[in-house]
Amino acid sequence: MTATGTDPLRPLRGVVPPLCTPLTETGDVDTAGLRALVGHVLSAGVHGVFALGSSGETAFLTDAQRHTALTTVVEAVGGRVPVLAGVVDMTTPRVLEHARAAVAAGADALVATAPFYAATHPMEIADHFRRVRDGAGGAPLFAYDIPSAVHTKLPAATVLALAEEGTLAGLKDSSGADGPMRRLLTELRRRGLDSSFAVLTGSELAVDGALLAGAHGVVPGLGNVDPHGYVRLHAHAVAGRWREAAAEQDRLAQLFAIVDAGADSTPMGPSSSALGAFKTALRLRGVIGCAATAPPQVPLDDTAVAVVRQRLAAAGLLR
Amino acid sequence: MTATGTDPLRPLRGVVPPLCTPLTETGDVDTAGLRALVGHVLSAGVHGVFALGSSGETAFLTDAQRHTALTTVVEAVGGRVPVLAGVVDMTTPRVLEHARAAVAAGADALVATAPFYAATHPMEIADHFRRVRDGAGGAPLFAYDIPSAVHTKLPAATVLALAEEGTLAGLKDSSGADGPMRRLLTELRRRGLDSSFAVLTGSELAVDGALLAGAHGVVPGLGNVDPHGYVRLHAHAVAGRWREAAAEQDRLAQLFAIVDAGADSTPMGPSSSALGAFKTALRLRGVIGCAATAPPQVPLDDTAVAVVRQRLAAAGLLR
Amino acid sequence: MTATGTDPLRPLRGVVPPLCTPLTETGDVDTAGLRALVGHVLSAGVHGVFALGSSGETAFLTDAQRHTALTTVVEAVGGRVPVLAGVVDMTTPRVLEHARAAVAAGADALVATAPFYAATHPMEIADHFRRVRDGAGGAPLFAYDIPSAVHTKLPAATVLALAEEGTLAGLKDSSGADGPMRRLLTELRRRGLDSSFAVLTGSELAVDGALLAGAHGVVPGLGNVDPHGYVRLHAHAVAGRWREAAAEQDRLAQLFAIVDAGADSTPMGPSSSALGAFKTALRLRGVIGCAATAPPQVPLDDTAVAVVRQRLAAAGLLR
Amino acid sequence: MTATGTDPLRPLRGVVPPLCTPLTETGDVDTAGLRALVGHVLSAGVHGVFALGSSGETAFLTDAQRHTALTTVVEAVGGRVPVLAGVVDMTTPRVLEHARAAVAAGADALVATAPFYAATHPMEIADHFRRVRDGAGGAPLFAYDIPSAVHTKLPAATVLALAEEGTLAGLKDSSGADGPMRRLLTELRRRGLDSSFAVLTGSELAVDGALLAGAHGVVPGLGNVDPHGYVRLHAHAVAGRWREAAAEQDRLAQLFAIVDAGADSTPMGPSSSALGAFKTALRLRGVIGCAATAPPQVPLDDTAVAVVRQRLAAAGLLR
């Protein structure tokens, strides 16, 4: 991204979809599909994209696939909006390798979780983010708070300290916990940090409330499927049209039910069911050509695909 | 409560504080303090009260103390608003005893959690609510979703089924999870159940967003301390003044920091710290005379009390 | 229990079954069945009994039922072995009421968990046990470490401090965690406390290893069904016949598979499945007349009953 | 490892230390230290070694460091005992890359966990192990059950199915749950699978009981520090000297307290404290030259080092 005038990353605002990573039937990154997906969300007017997040199956991609996906996204975006890149791995040394690779590939900012697999102390978590920031050439760094994946909730005191010292440029809050986010937002404002530190909610079902509470933006997995909806929702909120924002959110919450279609029909985990639904919806909408997810995820069966199709139609997303 | 005209429980709407249970230094229920607390919240214009909830130290009260507390509340309220009564215990037979006692004491509605201590299946949880409803003479029954205490999240499908069949009159959602609540609200509306089934959020820090999402009301522990604030917040929301609602919520979120004062100063659990802060604030505001909590909870020390005083002053709540 | 000569509680050793509480079809305590169960386990030579534990459905019994069950057990035992009584409830004031009732009913010792429902700090947990011990007239008190039910693991430092000061007479360790128990046992011996403080494992599938590690005894739920097996296992261990002890444990581990029969056949929780299997086995062995469990537990269906019968036969427990 | 006559991997038996990975002050793999560590454990008579496990800081090593560590171990062992290699990563495609690299580096067998970070269904977990086995050229594959790290407990039914079909050569059980392991062992014997499938306990504090229960071996982190102790313990067990085995285990359980020295002295996570203690002990014993652990782990301070030294002396491990 070429900075022109004001820096869109200080703070980052708006709708930033965590891009799915389309795969071919043989398990390779479907670069054509990924470029089409980038075009799909950019045409809706999103304010940034997040590659290699949980919705991007980052946990399932090899390092080579991560590289392919990220460079494809950077090229397809062409500097029009910031590209955030997930650098998800177990601990600092491994995260640092991903961070350096992402910067080299052209990412505008990095997104790292707390360490996982190994149990860490909050002081170690803070040190982790400092080392990642320092070791990756100073690229803006976002903390990714996702307890469902890493089994640690980032302590508010840690986030505030890292915000105040400038280690972090923001937080992607995928904890789904509304209370701690509100306390963080009010405290950031009290300290005058809300103009340099962005809070992006990953709760795609409560975006209206999050924006009302002062969150800077949203990183909605469902924004792959319906980026126009989230852009409208955001615009309503910015303009103070809260009833309209809530109505748009309600429509998106109904559409979100596609994430259960897979597991309602076949034994599978929540990742298979949710990411399979997003990709199936993108295929049915004609954005990508193949809805395959990476192993050991299970594909949606015909019954589940029919449910996804029906809900897309109900949401007015199929021609 | 004497029903006059429309039924305020179908569905219950508005601000319903989960009343603290003031105790004397010797550990008895401070009935004078409890009556004063009821007067305090009623004078603010709350729409109901919830006795014997987690904020009311229900887990710490003996059956005799529960009886004293509930009859005191029922008498002090005098039918002006509905009185909900917690019937918190491990399993169906024990909950049923509390339920019958609460109905006999004059409660207008009951609030029960899923079973705890013993591990149960969703089908057993549903059966539990049906038995409590049937065994307590048909008093309106609210499900109390509080995973932090009972270590089970009520499944949405269970809640919807119990709403549809009329077993439940509503849900007190203290899960702090915004996504599942939004999905529940949109599905209740889709099925036409939102006019008979109330969703009350227990997330006292995201009430603006919850009301925007269509929640019927709020059960805020902090509403003991500042009921006027929550009543104003609710009125703003009902009138569509969302920016003003958010500003009021922000003020309350800052005040909420009193819950950390105790634990920041002395080793104690979150229950000691939060309930001790609420009671200390009520004492400093002159509502009750003694801030004691039940054993084995630890009292706030002088440093913590000073912090509570300071935050009350900052919120404009000390004369 | 009348103490004659040496005190069997300092420390308690041997096999102490956590007695099931037989119920009638209408949900009352089946006192005849309970007396028969006491006779069944005493005839096998057990060294104590534990009434009102998790296997005794303590979480499902009303206070009146707890009283009936405990007095029935005390009378049926008639002082031949110590009677331990569970005093399971959420916090100190409620536990104290059960403790006083249990002492009045003739219990020789009490068994209390850490507080649950409300979150507590280790210092509060320690204070809890001290208050229960002091408030119940000095009856010997055992700590009941059962994280699966109370969602707290008793910290080793807390247990050691309470052992050293004499607050606790022992520990029933139902955590299933072999490492922490071994560290506790070696530390108790190092401090010379193993002759006054009993460690009883609740892990009915690793009794041979626990006794080899120096545990004083075992509280096996399966000991309701096959008390003779556990008495033989204990006798082998005391005599140093470790291979024979292991062989007996292996036989009991195979029999233990009855706990899955219910859930393999019908949707139900683990409590329904395990306690239903124990009671069904007792009925099939002719000890009790009715295998009913308390609501909302689900009964075993015919398929599950057939599995229990088959495994009892394979274990040589059906004539 | 050169197979001569019988295959030591069918099933693997005995003491298999999960090797620490010594690091230099600058964070590189200390290959001289690692060779010395291999010599240390081989001279004690261990029956295999496990490189790149949790004790080997596998979560903290980059791919290049993993390669260096594994090739160093393979060369140092020189075929005298089997070398197991951890292939720890989030999901199948990433694990497969490590698996192929480990086979190429000369590992005799692979050790993989269930997927983590992404939530998976038991059917997906089974598919994961099948794909890793098939994709890595048929090298013997062990499942690594470590819920504390991956937040999933391997279901017994899954392990049994994978054992029966030959996908797995064994299980490293680091769950610390004695009951499920006993049930697995008895069921493996009932099906005649215990001569082809190895159960290795990772519970270094209950090895006597595990071997008495029929476990094939042990993978003790503390075996880096005192391999001779574990080899003696194993020999006692094989010879039926159970009291002597227990006494040796008790001594090792006392020594194990070194893992708390770090965290008792400085704020740090359990990984820092345990691995720092193992490495400090190895340095004090003269096996390695530097006790550094990988970032963001915190080093032991002087107080903690003194505690480790004292406990080593008490265990007779310092000259």
Q: How confident is residue A291, by pLDDT bands cut at 50, 70 and 90?
A: very high
Q: Is residue A220 part of a domain?
A: yes
Find the residue in B nearest to C66 (Cα).
B94
pLDDT of residue C5: 52
Amino acid present at C89 = D
Q: From the CA of D240, how many Å to the nearest CA of chain A?
A: 37
Q: Could you report the per-residue pLDDT of B185-199, keeping only the tens digit for each? A: 999 999 999 999 999
Burial of B169 (0-12, 13-18, 19+ CB in 10 A): buried
Residue tagged active-site, from C117, C144, C153, C230: C144
Q: What is the end-to-end Cα distance of chain B in Å, rounded? A: 34
Q: Do A121 and D65 touch (CB under 8 A)?
A: no
> Given CB atoms, is B203 within the 8 Å cutoff of chain A?
yes
Q: Give the span between the Cα atoms of D54 and D287, in whole angstroms.
A: 20
Residue A4 pLDDT greater than 90, yes or no: no
Residue D67 pLDDT greater than 60, yes or no: yes
Residue A3 pLDDT greater than 60, yes or no: no
Q: Is residue D280 part of a domain?
A: no
ipTM exceeding 0.90, yes/no: yes
Q: Give the span between the Cα atoms of C30 and C24, in whole angstroms.
A: 5
Domain count, chain B: 1
Six-digit token string for A237: 């909120």
Q: How confident is residue D1, by pLDDT bands cut at 50, 70 and 90?
A: very low
- State the CB neighbour count (10 A cutoff) for residue D196: 17
Q: How confident is residue B169, by pLDDT bands cut at 50, 70 and 90?
A: very high
Q: What is the DSSP string of C30-53?
A: -HHHHHHHHHHHHHTT-S-EEESS
Six-digit token string for B311: 């935050």
Q: For residue C129, give the nearest of C166, C156, C184 by alpha carbon.
A: C166
Interacting residues of D126 by C-beta distance below 8 A, sequence separation 6+: D158, D161, D162
Residue D4 pLDDT greater than 60, yes or no: no
Task: Give D254's contacts in chain C (Cβ within 8 Å).
Answer: 186, 190
pLDDT of residue B5: 52
Residue A314 pLDDT greater than 70, yes or no: yes
Q: Is residue B115 part of a domain?
A: yes
Q: Which helix H or strand E contains C117, and what residues bound it?
A: none
Residue A209 pLDDT greater than 80, yes or no: yes
Average pLDDT, chain D: 96
Q: Do C27 and B93 touch (CB under 8 A)?
A: yes
Task: Give C148's contacts in chain B (Cβ within 8 Å).
Answer: 119
Q: For residue C207, give the nearest of C35, C14, C24, C4 by alpha carbon.
A: C14
- Name the B residues in 93-112 with CB < 8 Å from any C CB: 93-94, 97
Kind of pairing, strands B14-15 and B49-51? unpaired
Burial of C234 (0-12, 13-18, 19+ CB in 10 A): buried
Interacting residues of D187 by C-beta distance below 8 A, sequence separation 6+: D156, D160
- Name the A residues in 142-161 with CB < 8 Å from any D CB: 148-151
Q: Give the span between the Cα atoms of C250 and D212, in whole angstroms.
A: 10
Six-digit token string for B30: 């401070």
Q: Give the number of C-alpha atoms closer than 13 A to the C-alpha of residue C179, restricted to the C-beta side.
A: 19
What average pLDDT score do residues B36-43 get?
98
What average pLDDT score do residues A239-247 get?
98
Q: Is residue B68 part of a domain?
A: yes
Q: Do C61 and B271 touch (CB under 8 A)?
A: no
Percentages helix, strand, coil for chain C (3-state, rounded to 5) are 50, 10, 40
Find the residue in A nearest to B243 (Cα).
A212
What average pLDDT score do residues B66-75 get?
98
Please state, in angstroms and as integers, the Cα–Cα distance from residue B32 to each residue in A154, B29, B77, B80, C202, following that order. 43, 9, 13, 19, 47
Q: Which residue ranges in chain C fall short of pLDDT 50? A: 1-4
Q: Give the span between the Cα atoms of A261 and A263, in whole angstroms.
A: 6
What CATH number is given to the structural domain containing A107?
3.20.20.70
Six-digit token string for C262: 């219910």
Q: Is residue D61 part of a domain?
A: yes
pLDDT of residue D7: 83
Q: Give the span between the Cα atoms of B87 and B59, in whole angstroms.
A: 10
Q: How confident is residue D178, by pLDDT bands cut at 50, 70 and 90?
A: confident
Residue tagged active-site, from A153, A172, A230, A279: A172
> Given CB atoms, is A2 within the 8 Å cutoff of chain D?
no
Domain that holds residue A144: 14-241
Interacting residues of B179 by C-beta distance below 8 A, sequence separation 6+: A176, A203, A204, A205, A206
C144 is catalytic: yes
Average pLDDT, chain A: 96
Question: Which residues is D38 bridged to in the sheet?
Answer: none
Q: Is residue C45 part of a domain?
A: yes
Find the residue in D nearest to A151 (Cα).
D151
Q: What is the DSSP string of B162-180?
A: HHHTTS-SEEEE-S-BHHH
Six-digit token string for A60: 């399932």
Q: Is residue B49 part of a domain?
A: yes
Q: Could you report the per-residue pLDDT of B82-136, keeping only the tens digit for each? A: 999 999 999 999 999 999 999 999 999 999 999 999 999 999 999 999 999 999 9
What average pLDDT score do residues B220-234 get?
98
What average pLDDT score do residues A171-175 get?
97
pLDDT of residue A5: 52
> Given CB atoms, is D247 within the 8 Å cutoff of chain C?
no
Please state, in angstroms and as integers, the Cα–Cα distance from residue D13 to each residue in C153, C178, D211, following that order. 33, 21, 10
Q: Give the span between the Cα atoms of B124 and C272, in whole angstroms.
A: 9
D168 and D136 Cβ atoms separated by less than 8 Å: no
Q: Give the span between the Cα atoms of B263 and B142, in whole angstroms.
A: 32
Rounded to the nearest 5°, which phi and psi values hold at B105?
Answer: -80, -5
- 3-state SS, one letter per residue, for D95-137: HHHHHHHHHHCCCCEEEEECCCCCCCCHHHHHHHHHHHHHHCC
Amino acid present at C176 = G
Q: Is residue D40 part of a domain?
A: yes
Higher pLDDT, C137 or D64: D64
Interacting residues of C233 by C-beta distance below 8 A, sequence separation 6+: C207, C208, C245, C248, C249, C252
Q: How confident is residue B138, by pLDDT bands cut at 50, 70 and 90?
A: confident
Residue B3 pLDDT greater than 60, yes or no: no
Q: Could you report the per-residue pLDDT of A132-153, keeping only the tens digit for each? A: 999 998 899 999 999 999 999 9
Burial of C254 (0-12, 13-18, 19+ CB in 10 A): middle
Residue D2 pLDDT greater than 50, yes or no: no
pLDDT of residue A7: 83
Q: Which helix H or strand E contains D161, and what residues bound it?
A: helix D156-164
Q: For residue A195, give the nearest of A4, A11, A47 by alpha carbon.
A: A11
